[in-house]
Amino acid sequence: MDNRKILLVDMNAFFAGVEQQSNPHLRGKPVLVGGGVGKRSVVAACSYEAKWCGVSSGMPLMKALKLCPDAILIEGNSSKYTDTSKRIFKICRDYTDRLEIYSIDECFMDVTSTQSLFGGAWEVGRGIKSRIRTKLGLTCSIGIAPNKMLAKLASNMKKPDGLTEIKWSDAPSVLENLPVTKLHGIGDRTGAQLAYMGITTAGQLGRTPRDKLKRKFGIIGDVLHEMGQGIDRSPVVPYYDSPDMKSIGHSYTLSKNTRDPDIIYGQLQRLSEKVGRRLRAENYAGKTVSLVVRYEDMHTFSRRKTLSYYLDDGYDIYKAASAIMREQKDPRSVRLLGVCVSNLTKGMYQLDLFTNPRKKELMKTVDTLNDKYGEFTVRPASMVGLEARLKTHGFAGKHYDDSWET
């Protein structure tokens, strides 16, 4: 039995809502937001007007446009969303400091000990909704429950603009006929395996013997069993003691598949520079460099190399990533490339003993210029040649864009 009061605040069609708010012409119209608007993009967010046509996020842009030919296409602007996000969380923080930032548009709040100041959890929910609406012109759905799992479920029960509470005593009836895949953490794969066992609803999941689930799913068998019963003991982890990042990476889907080493290595260099820049900006350095390659047939693999020292310089990352790439003899044409650095350390770290101290100075200068004038204003000379080459190869579009985050 859980006596906590947990809220989940989830913004409705967040990116699309922000765009409609900042441009009145978009209001009431189907809006698709994508990260880049190339042929191979997918929908990152869409307005409810677009959802009514059958569009959903994650859908290929081309398919969405077919379903909804009148949709207005917008290239996402991550800093606009990050700013709005901060303002939303700032409002939420007025009700408790036990606030966990779950994603750019979602946060959990534990108001167990503060709710009485505001007349209860329901009133907290109402207050947040009304302030987000009047200050930012956006709607959200809020779920209230004794734990995070049920709060998430509650928030999904009414969209858009919902406020829903699941009390502990309501949990059994809510779960009884709920499809298992609606539970947070059960995706298509696990859902299919459960279905194969004859389990399709959360109610059935809760009645399945724990041992049977453990034999099939290992450690998550326990979690599944408890989820089926509406139990979730995980705490709300406040933003101020959220763990450090584990990895920083960038990937890029080429506008055309290619085997051209100039393009492949050029993109690896560009991605490595981006990763290095972010590492330095956030004061991290890492020891493990991963290369990700997706081929034309969508088969994706990764190879990593752990070094004996920490690095945060784009060229060092590139050296490691391209060395791994050179070992690949796959004849297939490449669709996506990714570079990721993990095994991170924050703050002080041991640089390679042979690093020239002046190199640090140079990197700092480059970062300052790029901060001021935009990404890749200053970049390795070899990349300039790449841009011309991309043009002649018919790789249309902006290859040097900041790719943006969800």
Rule CB under 7 A: choose which of 114, 200, 201, 251 binds DNA.
251
Binding flag, residue 345, DNA (CB under 7 A)? no
3 state SS of 42: strand
Q: Is 263 in the site for DNA (CB under 7 A)?
A: no
**Choice from 219, 348, 353, 381 touching DNA (CB under 7 A):** 219
What are the DSSP E strand ranges found in 5-157? 6-11, 31-34, 43-46, 72-75, 99-103, 106-110, 140-145
Three-class SS of residue 36? coil
How many residues bind DNA (CB under 7 A)? The answer is: 62
Do residues 296 and 335 touch, judged by C-beta distance below 8 A?
yes
Nearest in space to 7 (alpha carbons), one of 241, 166, 169, 244: 166
Token code pair at residue 382:
């070899």
Give 115's contacts (C-beta < 8 A, 6+ positions apart). 5, 121, 123, 124
Q: Which residues contact 400 (CB under 8 A, 6 or more apart)?
A: 270, 375, 376, 387
Rounded least distance, CB 227 to DNA, Å = 10
225 near DNA, rule: CB under 7 A: no
User: From the CB of residue 151, how many other CB atoms can be counted at a distance below 10 Å?
Assistant: 30
Q: Using the rule CB under 7 A, give the single segment among 84-92, 110-118, 248-256, 373-381 that binds DNA.
A: 248-256
Backbone angles phi and psi of 6, in degrees to 5: -115, 135
Listed ranges 98-106, 109-117, 119-127, 136-144: which one lies at the site for DNA (CB under 7 A): 98-106
CA 369 vs. chain centroid, Å, equals: 28
Region of 262 on the Ramachandran plot (φ > 0 left; ψ -120 to 50 alpha; else beta): alpha
Asked if residue 328 binds DNA (CB under 7 A), the reply is no
Least separation in angstroms between residue 360's CB and DNA is 22
Pick the binder of DNA from 66, 158, 215, 398 (CB under 7 A).
66
Among residues 29, 93, 184, 256, which is the contact residue for DNA, using CB under 7 A? 184
Least distance to DNA from the beta carbon of 13, Å? 12
Q: CA torsion 347→352→354→357, rounded to 10°? A: -10
Q: Does 139 bind DNA (CB under 7 A)?
A: no
Considering only residues 227-246, where is the footprint of DNA by CB under 7 A?
243, 245-246
- Residue from the set 23, 56, 103, 365 that interacts with DNA by CB under 7 A: 103
Does 147 help bind DNA (rule: CB under 7 A)? no
Is 106 a known active-site residue? yes
Examine residue 142 and tell whether it contacts DNA (CB under 7 A): no
Examine residue 188 and tell whether it contacts DNA (CB under 7 A).
yes
- Residues 5-44 interacting with DNA (rule: CB under 7 A): 35-36, 39-42, 44
The answer to whether 147 touches 32, Cβ cutoff 8 Å, is: no
Active-site residue, selected from the candidate residues 19, 49, 100, 106: 106
Give whichever of 297 and 361 is closer to DNA, judged by the CB atom: 297
Task: Based on the shown chain and the rule CB under 7 A, indicate whether residue 214 belongs to the binding site for DNA.
Answer: no
Among 60, 160, 238, 380, binds DNA (CB under 7 A): 60
Q: Which is nearer to DNA, 120 or 260 (CB)?
A: 260
CA distance linking residue 266 with residue 137, whole number of Å: 43
Burial call 218-238: b when 16+ CB within 10 Å, e when fewer: eeebebbbbbbebbbeeebbb
**Which of 28, 119, 172, 187 is in the footprint of DNA by CB under 7 A?**
187
- Cα–Cα distance between 15 and 38 in angstroms, integer? 18
Residues with a catalytic annotation lie at 106
Residue numbers at the binding site for DNA (CB under 7 A): 35-36, 39-42, 44, 57-58, 60, 62-63, 66, 102-106, 152, 183-191, 218-220, 243, 245-253, 278, 287-288, 297-298, 300-306, 335-336, 338, 340, 342-343, 403, 405-406
